[in-house]
Protein backbone atom coordinates (compact mmCIF):
# COMPACT_ATOMS: atom_id res chain seq x y z
CA UNK A 1 0.00 0.00 0.00
CA UNK A 2 2.86 2.39 0.76
CA UNK A 3 4.41 1.72 -2.62
CA UNK A 4 1.08 2.28 -4.31
CA UNK A 5 0.64 5.61 -2.53
CA UNK A 6 4.17 6.60 -3.46
CA UNK A 7 3.50 5.81 -7.09
CA UNK A 8 0.30 7.82 -7.05
CA UNK A 9 2.15 10.78 -5.56
CA UNK A 10 4.82 10.51 -8.21
CA UNK A 11 2.17 10.38 -10.89
CA UNK A 12 0.52 13.51 -9.52
CA UNK A 13 3.83 15.33 -9.37
CA UNK A 14 4.58 14.31 -12.90
CA UNK A 15 1.25 15.60 -14.12
CA UNK A 16 1.82 18.91 -12.35
CA UNK A 17 5.24 19.24 -13.90
CA UNK A 18 3.81 18.48 -17.31
CA UNK A 19 1.17 21.13 -16.86
CA UNK A 20 3.82 23.66 -15.94
CA UNK A 21 5.90 22.66 -18.91
CA UNK A 22 2.96 22.99 -21.24
CA UNK A 23 2.26 26.46 -19.89
CA UNK A 24 5.87 27.40 -20.45
CA UNK A 25 5.74 25.99 -23.93
CA UNK A 26 2.67 28.02 -24.71
CA UNK A 27 4.44 31.12 -23.49
CA UNK A 28 7.62 30.35 -25.41
CA UNK A 29 6.30 29.28 -28.76
CA UNK A 30 8.73 31.37 -30.78
CA UNK A 31 11.91 30.25 -29.10
CA UNK A 32 12.90 26.94 -30.61
CA UNK A 33 15.97 26.36 -28.50
CA UNK A 34 14.06 26.72 -25.29
CA UNK A 35 11.41 24.40 -26.59
CA UNK A 36 13.98 21.78 -27.44
CA UNK A 37 15.54 22.13 -24.02
CA UNK A 38 12.18 21.71 -22.37
CA UNK A 39 11.51 18.63 -24.42
CA UNK A 40 14.85 17.18 -23.43
CA UNK A 41 14.13 17.92 -19.79
CA UNK A 42 10.78 16.24 -20.10
CA UNK A 43 12.32 13.15 -21.62
CA UNK A 44 14.97 13.06 -18.91
CA UNK A 45 12.33 13.37 -16.26
CA UNK A 46 10.43 10.49 -17.78
CA UNK A 47 13.55 8.36 -17.83
CA UNK A 48 14.32 9.20 -14.22
CA UNK A 49 10.83 8.26 -13.15
CA UNK A 50 11.09 5.00 -14.99
CA UNK A 51 14.39 4.24 -13.32
CA UNK A 52 12.96 5.14 -9.94
CA UNK A 53 10.01 2.85 -10.43
CA UNK A 54 12.26 0.04 -11.54
CA UNK A 55 14.50 0.51 -8.52
CA UNK A 56 11.54 0.49 -6.17
CA UNK A 57 10.22 -2.59 -7.83
CA UNK A 58 13.53 -4.43 -7.66
CA UNK A 59 14.68 -3.35 -4.24
CA UNK A 60 11.48 -3.64 -2.27
CA UNK A 61 9.26 -6.23 -3.84
CA UNK A 62 11.95 -8.65 -4.83
CA UNK A 63 13.61 -8.41 -1.43
CA UNK A 64 10.30 -9.08 0.25
CA UNK A 65 9.72 -12.05 -1.99
CA UNK A 66 13.16 -13.43 -1.19
CA UNK A 67 12.57 -13.02 2.54
CA UNK A 68 9.23 -14.78 2.32
CA UNK A 69 10.74 -17.62 0.32
CA UNK A 70 13.52 -18.01 2.89
CA UNK A 71 10.96 -18.08 5.69
CA UNK A 72 8.97 -20.70 3.85
CA UNK A 73 12.12 -22.78 3.41
CA UNK A 74 12.97 -22.57 7.11
CA UNK A 75 9.42 -23.42 8.11
CA UNK A 76 9.35 -26.39 5.79
CA UNK A 77 12.62 -27.67 7.32
CA UNK A 78 11.19 -27.23 10.80
CA UNK A 79 8.05 -29.04 9.74
CA UNK A 80 10.12 -31.96 8.45
CA UNK A 81 12.02 -32.09 11.75
CA UNK A 82 8.79 -32.15 13.74
CA UNK A 83 7.41 -34.92 11.56
CA UNK A 84 10.59 -36.92 12.12
CA UNK A 85 10.25 -36.39 15.86
CA UNK A 86 6.68 -37.65 15.72
CA UNK A 87 7.83 -40.71 13.81
CA UNK A 88 10.79 -41.45 16.08
CA UNK A 89 9.03 -41.09 19.44
CA UNK A 90 8.70 -44.54 21.11
CA UNK A 91 4.96 -44.85 21.33
CA UNK A 92 3.52 -48.26 22.11
CA UNK A 93 0.10 -49.66 21.30
CA UNK A 94 -1.56 -48.32 24.43
CA UNK A 95 -0.42 -44.75 23.78
CA UNK A 96 -1.44 -44.86 20.11
CA UNK A 97 -4.84 -46.27 21.05
CA UNK A 98 -5.32 -43.54 23.64
CA UNK A 99 -4.33 -40.84 21.14
CA UNK A 100 -6.71 -42.27 18.53
CA UNK A 101 -9.52 -42.23 21.06
CA UNK A 102 -8.60 -38.68 22.05
CA UNK A 103 -8.64 -37.47 18.45
CA UNK A 104 -11.95 -39.15 17.57
CA UNK A 105 -13.84 -37.62 20.49
CA UNK A 106 -14.86 -33.98 20.38
CA UNK A 107 -13.44 -33.24 23.82
CA UNK A 108 -9.95 -34.46 23.03
CA UNK A 109 -7.93 -32.32 25.42
CA UNK A 110 -4.89 -33.02 27.61
CA UNK A 111 -7.18 -32.86 30.64
CA UNK A 112 -9.22 -35.82 29.36
CA UNK A 113 -6.00 -37.71 28.64
CA UNK A 114 -4.84 -37.01 32.17
CA UNK A 115 -8.15 -38.23 33.62
CA UNK A 116 -7.93 -41.38 31.50
CA UNK A 117 -4.40 -42.01 32.72
CA UNK A 118 -5.53 -41.40 36.29
CA UNK A 119 -8.39 -43.86 35.81
CA UNK A 120 -6.01 -46.50 34.48
CA UNK A 121 -3.66 -45.79 37.38
CA UNK A 122 -6.55 -46.22 39.82
CA UNK A 123 -7.50 -49.47 38.10
CA UNK A 124 -3.91 -50.66 38.33
CA UNK A 125 -3.70 -49.79 42.01
CA UNK A 126 -7.03 -51.52 42.62
CA UNK A 127 -5.77 -54.61 40.80
CA UNK A 128 -2.58 -54.55 42.81
CA UNK A 129 -4.58 -54.13 46.01
CA UNK A 130 -6.85 -57.05 45.16
CA UNK A 131 -3.81 -59.13 44.27
CA UNK A 132 -2.24 -58.23 47.58
CA UNK A 133 -5.48 -59.06 49.39
CA UNK A 134 -5.74 -62.35 47.56
CA UNK A 135 -2.34 -63.46 48.87
CA UNK A 136 -2.43 -65.31 52.18
CA UNK A 137 -1.63 -63.51 55.39
CA UNK A 138 1.33 -65.75 56.08
CA UNK A 139 3.12 -64.62 52.93
CA UNK A 140 6.76 -63.78 53.11
CA UNK A 141 8.06 -60.14 53.11
CA UNK A 142 9.70 -60.81 49.73
CA UNK A 143 6.25 -61.18 48.12
CA UNK A 144 5.17 -57.81 49.57
CA UNK A 145 8.25 -56.07 48.21
CA UNK A 146 7.67 -57.74 44.83
CA UNK A 147 4.08 -56.43 44.72
CA UNK A 148 5.23 -52.94 45.73
CA UNK A 149 7.91 -52.98 43.04
CA UNK A 150 5.35 -54.04 40.44
CA UNK A 151 3.01 -51.26 41.56
CA UNK A 152 5.80 -48.67 41.29
CA UNK A 153 6.74 -50.02 37.85
CA UNK A 154 3.13 -49.68 36.68
CA UNK A 155 2.93 -46.12 38.00
CA UNK A 156 6.19 -45.20 36.24
CA UNK A 157 4.92 -46.68 32.97
CA UNK A 158 1.67 -44.72 33.23
CA UNK A 159 3.55 -41.50 33.99
CA UNK A 160 5.84 -42.06 31.00
CA UNK A 161 2.87 -42.71 28.72
CA UNK A 162 1.16 -39.55 29.95
CA UNK A 163 4.28 -37.48 29.27
CA UNK A 164 4.64 -38.95 25.79
CA UNK A 165 0.98 -38.24 25.06
CA UNK A 166 1.37 -34.62 26.11
CA UNK A 167 4.48 -34.31 23.95
CA UNK A 168 2.58 -35.68 20.96
CA UNK A 169 -0.26 -33.20 21.49
CA UNK A 170 2.21 -30.31 21.73
CA UNK A 171 3.94 -31.43 18.55
CA UNK A 172 0.61 -31.64 16.75
CA UNK A 173 -0.23 -28.10 17.86
CA UNK A 174 3.17 -26.90 16.65
CA UNK A 175 2.60 -28.57 13.29
CA UNK A 176 -0.78 -26.90 12.95
CA UNK A 177 0.67 -23.49 13.80
CA UNK A 178 3.49 -23.98 11.30
CA UNK A 179 1.05 -24.92 8.56
CA UNK A 180 -1.06 -21.84 9.27
CA UNK A 181 2.03 -19.63 9.21
CA UNK A 182 3.11 -21.11 5.89
CA UNK A 183 -0.34 -20.45 4.44
CA UNK A 184 -0.18 -16.84 5.63
CA UNK A 185 3.23 -16.40 4.06
CA UNK A 186 1.98 -17.84 0.79
CA UNK A 187 -0.93 -15.40 0.84
CA UNK A 188 1.50 -12.56 1.48
CA UNK A 189 3.62 -13.70 -1.43
CA UNK A 190 0.53 -13.74 -3.65
CA UNK A 191 -0.35 -10.21 -2.54
CA UNK A 192 3.15 -9.08 -3.38
CA UNK A 193 2.81 -10.56 -6.84
CA UNK A 194 -0.47 -8.71 -7.31
CA UNK A 195 1.18 -5.49 -6.13
CA UNK A 196 3.98 -6.06 -8.59
CA UNK A 197 1.47 -6.40 -11.41
CA UNK A 198 -0.26 -3.21 -10.28
CA UNK A 199 3.05 -1.38 -10.33
CA UNK A 200 3.68 -2.55 -13.85
CA UNK A 201 0.23 -1.40 -14.90
CA UNK A 202 0.81 2.00 -13.33
CA UNK A 203 4.11 2.25 -15.10
CA UNK A 204 2.45 1.49 -18.41
CA UNK A 205 -0.27 4.03 -17.71
CA UNK A 206 2.36 6.61 -16.91
CA UNK A 207 4.10 5.95 -20.18
CA UNK A 208 0.83 6.20 -22.07
CA UNK A 209 -0.01 9.53 -20.44
CA UNK A 210 3.41 10.92 -21.24
CA UNK A 211 3.20 9.77 -24.82
CA UNK A 212 -0.23 11.31 -25.21
CA UNK A 213 0.97 14.61 -23.81
CA UNK A 214 3.94 14.62 -26.12
CA UNK A 215 1.74 13.86 -29.11
CA UNK A 216 -0.64 16.61 -28.11
CA UNK A 217 2.24 19.01 -27.86
CA UNK A 218 3.64 17.96 -31.24
CA UNK A 219 0.26 18.34 -32.84
CA UNK A 220 -0.24 21.75 -31.29
CA UNK A 221 3.25 22.95 -32.19
CA UNK A 222 3.33 21.78 -35.81
CA UNK A 223 -0.23 22.83 -36.52
pLDDT in tens, 107-160: 444 555 555 555 565 555 655 555 455 444 444 566 667 777 777 777 777 666
pLDDT interval class at 194 (50, 70, 90)? confident
CB 110 within 8 A of CB 166: yes
* CB-based contacts of 179, cutoff 8 Å, min separation 6: 79
Residue 204's Cα: distance from chain center in Å?
32
- Compute how many other C-beta atoms are within 10 angstroms of the C-beta atom of residue 53: 19
Per-residue pLDDT of 66-87, as tens digits, reads: 787 787 778 777 777 777 776 7
Q: What is the pLDDT of residue 52?
A: 75
> pLDDT over 90 for what percent of the chain?
0
Q: Mean pLDDT, to the nearest integer, of 12-29?
A: 68
Of residues 183 and 4, the one with the higher pLDDT is 183
- In the chain, where the domains are located: 2-25+32-86+178-222
Contact (Cβ atoms closer than 8 angstroms) between residue 12 and residue 204: no
For position 118, what pLDDT does the model report?
58
| Mean pLDDT, range 39-65, rounded to an integer | 72
Amino acid sequence: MLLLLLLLLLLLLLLLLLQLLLLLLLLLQRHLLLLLLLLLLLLLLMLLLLLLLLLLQLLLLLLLQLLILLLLLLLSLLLILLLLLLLLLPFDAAVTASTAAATTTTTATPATAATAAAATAAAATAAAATAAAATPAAASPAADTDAAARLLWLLLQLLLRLLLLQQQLLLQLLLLMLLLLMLLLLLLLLLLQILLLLLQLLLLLLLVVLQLLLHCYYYYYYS
